[in-house]
Chains A and B, each alone.
Chain A
Amino acid sequence: GAVVSQHPSRVICKSGTSVKIECRSLDFQATTMFWYRQFPKQSLMLMATSNEGSKATYEQGVEKDKFLINHASLTLSTLTVTSAHPEDSSFYICSARFTGDVTEAFFGQGTRLTVV
């Protein structure tokens, strides 16, 4: 299957700082990338949908000024958690869809964020 690389896999940061998470599609072009948050023993919660070259569409209840998403190219999307708080600690996962394809999505390995 296609490869989506997410980096870093784990990060610990201090309250008030910002953290950037990268999501790259390594062997295909992705017009659309999705960012999810997952709490322990719960399913994936969609945070935002990001289309290359345009502003991300955020789900209700997700603060767009806190979770900045940039999809600058067909192979790279970034999520920046700004002014992080301990309650932002979570597992963040990106996924990407093939350009022109509306079927499968492939997921990154996930990033475990801990805010201390």
Chain B
Amino acid sequence: QKEVEQDPGPLSVPEGAIVSLNCTYSNSAFQYFMWYRQYSRKGPELLMYTYSSGNKEDGRFTAQVDKSSKYISLFIRDSQPSDSATYLCAMSEPGNQFYFGTGTSLTVIP
């Protein structure tokens, strides 16, 4: 079983829709949870990070962590064509390497 599972998509939504991206994981020792956005041929850009459980909101983006279910989500409200990218979840134990999901390809259609 992979450490982190993420549906690769592709996911296609109309502009203005709410997007839900998810990852599941198996290691209960993960404490740090991150979402990265990667445009084609570019390095990943950190969007959100969360420590332990709970929600975190930043503008149109909301990250949720449910440690009891080993499930994390990223919600994008009022999606824009500029949000079209691949979204990677990542997580780690304190001080240890990151484990990445495979990434979900998102296209927001004008």
Contacts and interface: CB of A to CB of B under 8 A. Distances in A.
Interface string B29-61: 000101010000111111001010000000000
Nearest to A57: B97
A44 interface: yes
A61 interface: no
A107 B36 contact: yes
Contact of B32 (A95, A103, A108, A109): A103
B90 to A, nearest CB: 8
A104 B46 contact: yes
A1 B100 contact: no
Interface residues of A, number: 23
A107 B43 contact: yes
Contact of B41 (A4, A46, A106, A110): A110
Contacts of B88: 43-44
A54 interface: no
B43 A110 contact: yes
Contacts of B94: 102
B44 A93 contact: yes
A112 interface: yes
B62 interface: no
Contacts of B98: 34, 46, 95, 105
A6 interface: yes
A110 B92 CA distance: 22
Contacts of B80: none
A25 to B, nearest CB: 13
A109 B42 contact: yes
9 contacts: A6-B43, A42-B103, A43-B6, A43-B102, A44-B44, A93-B44, A95-B43, A102-B32, A107-B46
Interface of A: 1, 4, 6, 34, 41-44, 46, 49, 91, 93, 95, 102-110, 112
Interface of B: 6, 8, 32, 34, 36, 41-46, 49, 51, 88, 92, 94-95, 97-98, 100-103, 105
Given A6-B43, A46-B97, A102-B92, 6 more contacts: A43-B100, A49-B97, A93-B43, A102-B32, A104-B49, A107-B46
